[in-house]
Structure 1
Amino acid sequence: MDKEYDFIVLGTGLKECILSGLLSTNGFSVLHMDKNGYYGGESASLNLNDLFKKFQGKEKAPEDLKLGSSRDYNVDLCPKLLMACGNLVKTLLSTKVTRYLEFKSVAGSFVYKQGKIFKVPASGGDAWRSSLLGMMEKYRFKTFLDFVVQYDQKNAKTWPNKMDCTKTPMSEIYKYYKLGDNIQEFVGHAVCLYLDETYKGMPAHDTIERAKLYAYSVSRYGNSPYIYPVWGLGGLPEGFSRLCAVHGGIYMLNKPINKLHFEGEKIVGVESVDENGKDAVAKCKKGVLADPTYFIKDGKPGPEVKQVGQVARWICILDHPIPNTNNSDSCQIIIPSTQLKRKSGTTHYLNGTTSCLTWSCRHLHLVRIALPQRRC
């Protein structure tokens, strides 16, 4: 361990593993360390026993719950569906990390409205079949979707009514296509995945590009725009870790980080223990990349960390799929903030028996909600 590297990476979360993989493939020497005994950090996929150990301090799941074998589960701590044509998938393909992974198409994407769940229309055909929209709304949404697909900021002929979408707010685009609150709600929250309504006052370009990405991703697989690693999201950090190791990166798990060595404001070394349990320092030439949890002391973030928000998550184990989702074994359900009458909405993920996330006739219902910022 007492060596010098170009970069030292602390934590094996998704972003850390992507960075170490890309650095190693570009010829940099990388030491990757994690205080945990497993890959993934907060992006890990845990079996049932590890899940109860992490959150309840128990060595295994209580037998009276009758949840089945621990090894039948791969529970994602930080679920994230992958847009089929998104940047992360492009990175997976370009680095050939896909050879280490297997994916499946998520069965559907749904939105909650007035006590009911509706499938999100993402094509003209979906719009005509959807009960979420009235007759005139279907026509207007199809017209809007046709514009989105052919939109090109560099070609003024594709701009709506000669409006420059890098300057025109999204509210004006909605107004031009006569899209009412109903369509705006599911376009903004279920298609473009905004947490609140502030995007309407911002330049429309980003919203249009998000809607285009959604439409293109749907066209790739048909049912929904999302794909998911069959064995859980934890497979992504592991895949990039393999990429790093193939190109000479060194990995060390179960390594406590005792101290960070500074020269001025720059971290130049990381102190841990070697294989004999003695203190050892790994030095770095260019810098340290780290998960923010390595800079938290006594529950408070240090000056290296800037907190920008909070997210609450729930993990629910069900014995049935979510009603009104066509018995989908996997899906995403968006509850817009306007339906909840709060500043941000919630996202619900369901993964069931055909996805290898659970083989015990159980469905994992994962809920995520952004919390309001605290005032100091």
Structure 2
Amino acid sequence: MANDDENFFDAIVVGTGLTESILAAALSKAKYKVAHIDPNPYYGGNEASLSQDEFVKWGEQVSNGLHPAFSSHSGDSQVLPYSRQYSICLRPSIIPSLGPLITGLIASGVAKYSGFKLLNSVSIYAPDGTVKSVPGSKDAIFKSKDISLIEKRRLMRFLTFASGDFEDKPEIQGKEEQSFPEYLKSAYQLSDATVVVIAYALAHCHRFHTSFIAAPALLPALSREIWSFSIPPAVNGAVYVLGRPILSTAFHTPTSDEAQSEPYIEMKLDDFPEVLKSRVLISSKVNKPPGTPVLPLEVSLPTDAFQTSFVSKVARCVAILDKALSFHNTETTADPDSPPSAKDSLDSTVLIFPPASLPGGSQTNAGTVLINGEASLSTPKQRWIVYIMLPLTSPESESNVEALLRPYLDAALRLTGEPEAAPVQPLSTSFFFENQTPDQGSSSSAPQDTPRHFLIPPLAYSTFPELPDSAAKIAEIVFHQAIRSLRALKGEASTEEEEVDFWPPMEPEEEDSDDE
């Protein structure tokens, strides 16, 4: 059923986080008209990247309780020179080069508006204060001086096994119930040091699990990817409204003398002249509009598609430096007389602190450090951002966030590449908690044939690189449920078995003609 009213939409999506942005793009690619709104004045929701002056203001808002996904903010409030040249991500992550998000970026055509940088390195912090680089290729493995020849051969056997279809291979038979490190030791006789490297660098996890990840990782500015997902809706006639709080919502049933022939949800925004009308409304619990007039359906997630998270909070730190960190001379095999060079400076680098590897650090969970700089388009020249993330379980989650992360920050700042040098002094530091939203069950007491309001499940932290792929998987699940309602409400013919592709095939681009 068509509607010519410019302010009438198939779906209003509230919130511009990664999940909502992917969902809005997919609905638009499927030829549905979308209004995408956010009470925040910036795009990206909880996954936004902010300039340094915006980040300072955001920290003040967290302290005042205006962002319920975050709490306990402390740190510097000084605005730095060239503050607008920083891109500080609230929930930094990396994108595995194989997975749902990279598939969506390519299938939607969004990838051509995006920029990516390969992660330069992944390293492991050892209890003796040295840093061990994780070999990123077969050649790097055999060049490593930290791995014996027999260990190299065993490691290559495992990597060859893990990179293929291993479910029916004899190496795993009878060992399915073993933990990841137990499996590596029993099946390949790998040393404890090598097991730690594999478990925390290749699996990128805060606890051991049996997911083998051998694919390289891509480092995006996450907010740029969120912004890129706004392009398909815009091309297809979507409307974007930022910085306008929702005043009210209502369900309108037309009378017999109205031109509008179908019921709809109407939404009024602060200081916005038009009333938005929509067949369906999609939001998270946090962004649920006031006075929602229809029974919301909380979309449930299949447990087998998502890693179970036992995280109650994530302790986070953002530090800005004017001196590069370096792992040069931190490895026991490094030449102590060789001076650090520019290539030793860390940018687009991940450092893992395994449990119990650091005095004063967590005994049960791994800390992750991500270092970004000018090469990742995140800072002005000669500036670096150090992100620290530590997933927590109680009772740690009730501790002071700065006290939890200070050992990790101090250890990172000592990595100057010069053994006798003083630690780097940050220009700015901020500490805060990211709160995890518990699953409280469905909001509706009975199934709905044609729900009009969908509640998006929260994008919870499970592991460091899982965030983007989890957002893509959640968006696809909500997409298919919303499509079923929209088809029914618009009277579109469909069968139970027929589903709209999450990302329809891209139309071929016209080639430039060589008219001479």
Q: By the TM > 0.5 criterion, same fold?
A: yes
Return the alpha-carbon distance in structure 2 between the equivalents of residues 247 and 320 of structure 1. Answer: 45
Return the alpha-carbon distance in structure 1 between the equivalents of residues 98 and 108 of structure 2. Answer: 15
Return the alpha-carbon distance in structure 2 between the equivalents of residues 189 and 47 of structure 1. Answer: 31
Distance 1:27 1:13, change over 3 A: same
Which stretch of structure 1 is more off in the superposition, 2-11 or 104-113?
A: 2-11
Return the alpha-carbon distance in structure 1 between the equivalents of residues 370 and 266 of structure 2. Answer: 38
- Per the alignment, residue 9 of structure 2 pairs with 5
Return the letter of the residue paired with 1:249. A
- Per the alignment, residue 145 of structure 1 pairs with 159
- Per the alignment, residue 352 of structure 1 pairs with 373
- Per the alignment, residue 252 of structure 1 pairs with 241
Q: Does the 8 Å contact 1:119/1:130 carry over to 2?
A: no
Q: Does the 8 Å contact 1:69/1:360 carry over to 2?
A: no
Q: Does the 8 Å contact 1:47/1:70 carry over to 2?
A: yes
Q: Does the 8 Å contact 2:365/2:390 carry over to 1?
A: yes
Which stretch of structure 1 is more off in the superposition, 167-176 or 25-34?
A: 167-176
Residue 135 of structure 2 aligns to a residue in which SS?
coil
- Per the alignment, residue 269 of structure 2 pairs with 273
Return the alpha-carbon distance in structure 1 between the equivalents of residues 172 and 375 of structure 2. Answer: 48
Which residue, 277, 283, 290 being the options, matches 1:282?
Answer: 277
User: What TM-score does the superposition give when structure 1 sets the normalisation length?
Assistant: 0.78
Return the alpha-carbon distance in structure 2 between the equivalents of residues 296 and 112 of structure 1. Answer: 45
For residues 252-305 of structure 1, what are the alpha-carbon distances to aligned partners after superposition, in whole Å with 9 as ceiling and x for unaligned?
Answer: 111212345589xxxx74633265568x463333x4133x432599xxxxx969
- Per the alignment, residue 300 of structure 1 pairs with none
C-alpha deviation, 1:308, in angstroms = 6.0
- Per the alignment, residue 286 of structure 2 pairs with 293
- Per the alignment, residue 343 of structure 1 pairs with 364
C-alpha deviation, 1:94, in angstroms = 1.3
For residues 115-149 of structure 1, what are the alpha-carbon distances to aligned partners after superposition, in whole Å with 9 as ceiling and x for unaligned?
Answer: 11121124332222334434432222121112112
- Per the alignment, residue 315 of structure 1 pairs with 318
Larger helix share, 1 or 2: 1
Distance 1:113 1:10, change over 3 A: same
For residues 85-127 of structure 1, what are the alpha-carbon distances to aligned partners after superposition, in whole Å with 9 as ceiling and x for unaligned?
Answer: 3332221111111221222222211111121112112433222
C-alpha deviation, 1:38, in angstroms = 1.4
- Per the alignment, residue 307 of structure 2 pairs with none
Return the alpha-carbon distance in structure 2 between the equivalents of residues 87 and 304 of structure 1. Answer: 22
Return the alpha-carbon distance in structure 1 between the equivalents of residues 133 and 355 of structure 2. Answer: 18
Return the alpha-carbon distance in structure 1 between the equivalents of residues 150 and 235 of structure 2. Answer: 56
CA RMSD of aligned residues (A): 3.4
Residue 251 of structure 1 aligns to a residue in which SS?
strand
Residue 142 (structure 2) pairs with residue 128 (structure 1): yes
C-alpha deviation, 1:341, in angstroms = 5.1
Q: Does the 8 Å contact 1:123/1:142 carry over to 2?
A: no
- Per the alignment, residue 29 of structure 1 pairs with 33
Residue 272 of structure 1 aligns to a residue in which SS?
strand
Q: Does the 8 Å contact 2:166/2:172 carry over to 1?
A: no
Residue 222 of structure 2 aligns to a residue in which SS?
coil
Residue 51 (structure 2) pairs with residue 47 (structure 1): yes
Residue 372 (structure 2) pairs with residue 365 (structure 1): no
Return the alpha-carbon distance in structure 2 between the equivalents of residues 186 and 347 of structure 1. Answer: 13
- Per the alignment, residue 81 of structure 1 pairs with 94
Which residue, 104, 117, 123 being the options, matches 2:131?
Answer: 117
Which residue, 335, 341, 348 being the options, matches 1:330?
Answer: 348
Return the alpha-carbon distance in structure 1 between the equivalents of residues 277 and 130 of structure 2. Answer: 56
User: What TM-score does the superposition give when structure 2 sets the normalisation length?
Assistant: 0.58
Q: Does the 8 Å contact 2:246/2:289 carry over to 1?
A: no
Return the alpha-carbon distance in structure 1 between the equivalents of residues 174 and 103 of structure 2. Answer: 28
C-alpha deviation, 1:364, in angstroms = 0.5
For residues 36-91 of structure 1, what are the alpha-carbon distances to aligned partners after superposition, in whole Å with 9 as ceiling and x for unaligned?
Answer: 11111121111121111111369x9736xxx4212221111111112223332221
Residue 342 of structure 1 aligns to a residue in which SS?
coil
Q: Which of the two has higher C-alpha Rg?
A: 2
Residue 293 of structure 1 aligns to a residue in which SS?
coil
Larger strand share, 1 or 2: 1
C-alpha deviation, 1:173, in angstroms = 5.2
Residue 111 of structure 1 aligns to a residue in which SS?
strand
Return the letter of the residue paired with 1:147. F
Residue 231 (structure 2) pairs with residue 228 (structure 1): no
Give the unaligned 5+ runs of structure 1: 218-224, 298-302
C-alpha deviation, 1:373, in angstroms = 3.6
Which residue, 17, 28, 34 being the options, matches 2:21?
Answer: 17
C-alpha deviation, 1:358, in angstroms = 0.7
Count of matched residue pairs: 335
Which stretch of structure 1 is more off in the superposition, 105-114 or 235-244?
A: 105-114
Q: Does the 8 Å contact 1:118/1:131 carry over to 2?
A: no
Return the alpha-carbon distance in structure 2 between the equivalents of residues 249 and 227 of structure 1. Answer: 29
Return the alpha-carbon distance in structure 2 between the equivalents of residues 343 and 304 of structure 1. Answer: 33
Q: Does the 8 Å contact 2:248/2:269 carry over to 1?
A: no
Distance 1:360 1:192, change over 3 A: same
Q: Does the 8 Å contact 1:295/1:304 carry over to 2?
A: no
- Per the alignment, residue 182 of structure 1 pairs with 193
Q: Does the 8 Å contact 2:123/2:133 carry over to 1?
A: yes
Q: Does the 8 Å contact 2:124/2:201 carry over to 1?
A: yes
Q: Does the 8 Å contact 1:185/1:338 carry over to 2?
A: no
